[in-house]
Structure 1
């Protein structure tokens, strides 16, 4: 199997990495975090101008008709630069629901603004007791003569503080953990009854806790089948997991490069500490862990296009396991080899480890996905 990028994919890789190299160093990132919502509207506009926000959408919908590999390329570049802009919640999650389940009317209403950068999204799914169970939903959407009334609470909604539109999971029927009776709804963030409490997260991004009190939406707000949307949710979240694996690879790659550079320049006993064989071995082990994660991230990217939902979920879970184990090792070793400076807020390596740690816990940690793979009888 040929794993080389095509000429167009290499051009995309060079383009996005070139853009971020000129506008996204560590000091610039601090300035962007200080802007309203915790990210830069200027950088977001640049991503839109380069067509990165429209990559995965069909040409009929105003996009570029790219696939999962192109998303992997972009996410890896965003990971390398520690980008704080809401590409995952807007393009991968919000856009994913529209791509996989949206009606022609919903796409026409929302995708142009997403693609040109004037609209961002947030996926409101996590609840107090749900942990990693996508089907554990107590938020309700009660059917009315004209649509639905949504009541409930969602927590740690990435980009929830700044999003124009919320993609909300809510139960239309059944018990709290039933697979059936789950719907997905498009809710304007400024709708009456929506209360948003935003805050920064440990990795420098922003999230929000959101409550819905008697929020009325029309029947056209439901994406797909409002009583059987869990398969759609699982499909989109698997895309997001694959994208997170790619982002983690980018962050690990940059962590390793920074660590090796530090080993070459930091001196002890009159020589660079990189001349010590034990530290060379440690760096080599980090490289092996990175390449294992890279291979599984590529596998997850290919698996996200599988038609077989069970095979796709198992492959993505296996990738999340390996990436989670690798990022923990690479992150910990990066801090250890940097010594005391690696623990400071002023030095970037600690911020990479924070982001990697948050990726590991997003949409299921390594232990959660290891149980999934084990229950499926293994990967092969």
Structure 2
């Protein structure tokens, strides 16, 4: 398959770019940060997102969505990365919509998916528990109680968890931490008795939450998928999520590159434009090459998620690891080539550096995915 967008995907990209660049430039994020906005994103803009069909991008058509796939989600995420737009697109429209579509019962799909598509429901995946992404090391307990389960434990780095109307929670219903079998997903009302949510504003001015579950009762109707069988569901959901975050980092990297090249063409040193210095030209050229190779790797991973998801794990690992390394290089080069100005808060380049660092950790950093790839290759 050619590593190019189709005409329809290009139209989607242009539509998303027009809306996001107009309504959510980096100044939008800066305003939300400086005003200490309680939500951390614009609900009005999210409503516009839903009206344009972006919230229901992955929701099947029978439930009010567009029924599109991973490549299209990546297209929108790349545009989000260009302006660092804070929105619940990743948590709700990608992760939650995918989980419910893959594993939800008919009743669960009918109840939640139309609300995701119209923008009226926000959802969050509560998975990680520590400083690093280790989904199989889940220790949160799900103990059978009456007609359901009792959940006890804590989750960290729950993206958009502070505004979620629905939590998709991974807990261990059998086995020991580190074992693949024994994980179960639960649909939990964040207002349920025993749920405590603490908003954490991350270094990149985006939002996450710490959530504790103190003997939270969940009935059997709120189990998502098979009991003890969540690992297979998470493989697909996280594969899509990692591809989406990798796409965001491609957009972030390209925007930083464009801003840096523009600066090289206007800043003068010793009576010359600094872009005329060969050393800087070489560094800029190398960064451009890195971004284009990473773009190809990410698009290939997304295409494979759509065409042959069973064989996509290795490509997704490569894409996420490479996107993290490329974004890190892009922001470091960007800050350095901007000189002292690049280190100031009044200059936007620092926002990109902070977001790149968070995206690198989200759903596994480069080391995590290098290890995943080695395991898949039998090492």
TM-score category, normalised to shorter length:
over 0.9
* TM-score (normalizing by structure 1): 0.95
1:1-380 → structure 2 map (5 Å cutoff): 1-33=1-33, 34-128=36-130, 131-305=132-306, 307=308, 309=310, 311-377=311-377
Separation of aligned partners in 2, 1:205 and 1:234: 25
Separation of aligned partners in 2, 1:41 and 1:314: 36
Q: Cα deviation per residue 1:193-230 (whole Å; 9 max; x = unaligned)?
A: 00011121011111111100111112111110021111
Does structure 2 retain, via aligned residues, the 8 Å contact 1:321–1:367? yes
Q: Cα deviation per residue 1:236-273 (whole Å; 9 max; x = unaligned)?
A: 00110000111000000100000001111111112221
Does structure 1 retain, via aligned residues, the 8 Å contact 2:203–2:354? yes
Separation of aligned partners in 1, 2:344 and 2:166: 36
Does structure 2 retain, via aligned residues, the 8 Å contact 1:137–1:170? yes
Separation of aligned partners in 1, 2:8 and 2:28: 29
Number of paired residues? 377
Separation of aligned partners in 2, 1:165 and 1:308: 27
Separation of aligned partners in 2, 1:251 and 1:233: 26
Gaps of at least 5 residues in structure 2 are: none
**1:26, distance to aligned residue in structure 2 (A):** 2.1
User: Residue 351 and residue 234 in structure 1: after superposition, are their counterparts in 2 closer, same or farther (change >3 A)?
Assistant: same
Does structure 1 retain, via aligned residues, the 8 Å contact 2:29–2:205? no
Q: Cα deviation per residue 1:52-76 (whole Å; 9 max; x = unaligned)?
A: 0111111111111111111111010
Separation of aligned partners in 2, 1:254 and 1:103: 41
**1:186, distance to aligned residue in structure 2 (A):** 0.7
**1:346, distance to aligned residue in structure 2 (A):** 1.4
Separation of aligned partners in 2, 1:172 and 1:181: 5
* TM-score (normalizing by structure 2): 0.96
**1:378, distance to aligned residue in structure 2 (A):** 8.2
User: Residue 295 and residue 378 in structure 1: after superposition, are their counterparts in 2 closer, same or farther (change >3 A)?
Assistant: farther
**1:308, distance to aligned residue in structure 2 (A):** 5.6
Aligned to 1:36, what secondary structure does the other structure show? coil
| Bigger mean CA offset, 349-358 vs 300-309 | 300-309
Does structure 1 retain, via aligned residues, the 8 Å contact 2:133–2:361? no
Q: Cα deviation per residue 1:111-161 (whole Å; 9 max; x = unaligned)?
A: 1221111111111111137x3321111111112222211111111111111
**1:307, distance to aligned residue in structure 2 (A):** 4.5
Does structure 2 retain, via aligned residues, the 8 Å contact 1:292–1:326? no
